[in-house]
Amino acid sequence: MKPNIFDIATKELSQDAFITWLLMFADEGCKREDEVLNECARKFVTELIKSHYPNFDEKITSVKAGRQRENIDIWAEVNDKYFIVIEDKTNTKEHSNQLNRYREAAERMAKGKSIVCIYIKTGNENKASLTRVENKGFKVFDRKNLICILEKYTDLIKNNIFIDFLERIKRLEEKNNQFGEIAITEWQGIDWQGFFQFLENELPAADMWWDYANNPSGGFWWYAFSKLPLTDKNFIYMQLEQSKVRLCFKVNISDESVENDRRQIRNKLFKLFISEARKEGFFEIKKPERFGKGKTMTFAVVEREGWFGNDKLDREGVIKNILKYQEFFIAFQKKFKADTQSPKQAQIPSLRFKK
């Protein structure tokens, strides 16, 4: 296999350098160096500007670009009219109020130019997180966006830097989508990320969130959804976990006034939940191997065989199973809240759930 410089230099700084290099090549003066690469770079700059100004149709003539200006990863001045600010990420996310600070810095540096704030992401990030990025005025430019622009020039550009970068991100995209072709028992982190992105597009829940939990035992990928309130400060939710490939039903008890009653609340939840599950024929819903003691605790689980299987992913079947348990979970929450908020236990008829 041909060595790829971006397989060796995997840090964000290497990606910063490539993006800056490509921006610089959009300047009209670079046309004589490599006409096709200049065309590709101008297309890239055009798409960045159009993400904020859809009617932009100007010819790109001058581009000045650089790195690390007031801590901004990448910046570019285009046609002396547009000031592009790029926060460039591979596998990390925004932190420490970065985007707001960079936008404020851009407003100082733009000197009357139209500001274009871009969040480039070549790794994976959940939709909820990316929505927050866009709410801060940054347009998300992900791996697929980059591939869409660059691969049109695959057979035309012979520059090794360009070829290596495109091959690298295309390989990442292919790995991200291979989860459906690999036995579930062989899944790695990238397969779980691809699966979670699939769920984001298939499940109706609006409160989905997935990420990596780093802990002393090695960490795992998780996917949380169906966050439902118990009280103003406490809530229950569902979570899929890579570590044991199980579907968990969890409670978060953040209310300090009931801190000493967490175990009691968890136990009550478990008993009521299992009781309702048995009534509805969900005998695969069980007690976890052990109960936790913190603010967040698992009070019931469905093991892998009950919802996921062992062979290759049955996409339709898994979605059907998750929706089935989600329907039961939502109905349980409504009944539990009614029971615990009434002076007497509410007389609510048994509910029937789809199998």
pLDDT for 218 beyond 90: no
Is 344 a residue whose pLDDT tops 60?
A: no
pLDDT of residue 311: 84
Q: What was the pLDDT predicted at 233?
A: 83
Q: What is the mean pLDDT of residues 151-171?
A: 97
Query: Taking 90 as the threshold, does the pLDDT of residue 315 lie above it?
Result: yes
Q: Model pTM greater than 0.75?
A: yes
- pLDDT tens digits for range 40-85: 999 999 999 999 999 999 999 999 999 998 889 999 999 999 999 9
What does the pLDDT average to over 128-140? 96
- Average pLDDT value over all residues in the chain: 91
Instruction: Give residue 177's pLDDT.
Output: 96
Give the pLDDT score at 343. Answer: 42
Mapping DSSP onto H, E and C, the string for the chain reads CCCCHHHHCCCHHHHHHHHHHHHHCCCHHHCCCCHHHHHHHHHHHHHHHHCCCCCCCCCCCCEEEEEEECCEEEEEEECCCEEEEEEEECCCCCCCCHHHHHHHHHHHHCCCCEEEEEEEECCCCCHHHHHHHHHCCCEEEEHHHHHHHHHHHCCCCCCHHHHHHHHHHHHHHHHHCHHHHCCHHHCCHHHHHHHHHHHHHHCCCCCCEEEEECCCCCCEEEEEEEEEECCCCEEEEEEEECCCCEEEEEEEECCHHHHHHHHHHHHHHHHHHHHHHHHCCCCCCECCCCCCCCCEEEEEEECHHHHCCCCCCCHHHHHHHHHHHHHHHHHHHHHHHHHHHCCCCCCCCCCCCCC
